[in-house]
Amino acid sequence: MTNFSLPATLDRILEEARLKTAIALEHLKALNSFGITQEWLDRMEVDINTVMEIPTFDLQKTELKQFTAAKDAKLNECKEWGKQLKLRMTLAVADKKLKGVEFPNKTWNDCQQSESKLIVFFPTLIELAKVNAKALEAIGQTQEYIYQGEQLLKDLIIANQAQEEYNIKRKGITIDRQEIYRRLYDNVNRINRVGQMVFSDNEVIKVLFSSSWNQGTTETPAQPSL
């Protein structure tokens, strides 16, 4: 995993970017000849506004936890449905109401820790409930129970897809944030470098084109995970 690292906190970089943009605008005419133009500063302003609207890492983690919790809730409901089918089939076999049919324990056990495996296998369980409905009615299975299983599968697929899509989106947002902060950091340094040279004989203005980056560092995973 690669790391995103800058010699300052994100808040500090944003603060300096806003400050140096304002200073550069005040002295734009003097900086123009070195590429610090109104158009260049406008692009920097867009970056500043964009990064301020990007959700924070903490907010993204909270939102991902919500998606995960929703998926896990549906996963647990599917597991409970499967446990009920397993017990009814076991009892039906013991009562000799089912012959030559057994609950697929091995495959079922393999699915317990994987929603993707359970999504693939769950239709088989629903089919078992349907095919053996007559025998399982004596053990308490209803048509409503079968409908419930079909709906649970749909809900699990939707919840799982929502979590996966948000996770992909979150990684994309993280990459965008890193690129913008890196660009803002580099742009602040460019403004400072140009400003110090242009105003090298004016200490009052020259001092405005400097930044202290020794107030912490930024190091975040390129693709954070929970």
Rounded Cα distance between 155 and 91, Å, is: 28
Rounded Cα distance between 181 and 112, Å, is: 42
What pLDDT score does 225 carry? 41
Domain that holds residue 178: 1-226
Checking if the pLDDT of 213 tops 90, the result is no
Q: How confident is the model at residue 195 (pLDDT cuts 50, 70, 90)?
A: very high
- E strands of the chain, at which residues? 3-6, 218-221
What pLDDT score does 4 carry? 60
Are 159 and 69 within 8 A, CB to CB?
no
Rounded mean pLDDT of 40-55? 94
**Neighbouring residues of 135: CB distance < 8 A, sequence distance ≥ 6:** 92, 97, 98
What pLDDT score does 1 carry? 32
Rounded mean pLDDT of 41-55? 94
Helix (H) or strand (E) holding 63: helix 57-94
- Mapped onto helix, strand or coil, the DSSP state of residue 6 is strand
Residue 172 φ/ψ, nearest 5 degrees: -65, -40
pLDDT digits (tens, 9 = 90+) for 80-130: 999 999 999 999 999 998 888 899 999 999 998 889 999 999 999 999 999
Rounded Cα distance between 163 and 66, Å, is: 9
Query: How is residue 38 written in tokens?
Result: 């109104």
The rounded percent of the chain whose pLDDT value lies above 90 is: 75
Checking if the pLDDT of 224 tops 60, the result is no
Residue 114 φ/ψ, nearest 5 degrees: -140, 115
What pLDDT score does 205 carry? 95
The rounded percent of the chain whose pLDDT value lies above 70 is: 92
Are 99 and 89 within 8 A, CB to CB?
no
- C-alpha separations of 68 from 108, 141, 162, 165 in Å: 22, 30, 9, 12
Residue 5 φ/ψ region, left for φ over 0, alpha for ψ in the -120 to 50 degree band, beta for the rest: beta
Rounded Cα distance between 97 and 159, Å, is: 36
- The count of structural domains within the chain is 1
The single-letter code of the amino acid at 161 is Q
- Please tell me the least confidently modeled range out of 1-5, 6-10, 180-184: 1-5
Rounded Cα distance between 186 and 13, Å, is: 10
Checking if the pLDDT of 222 tops 50, the result is no
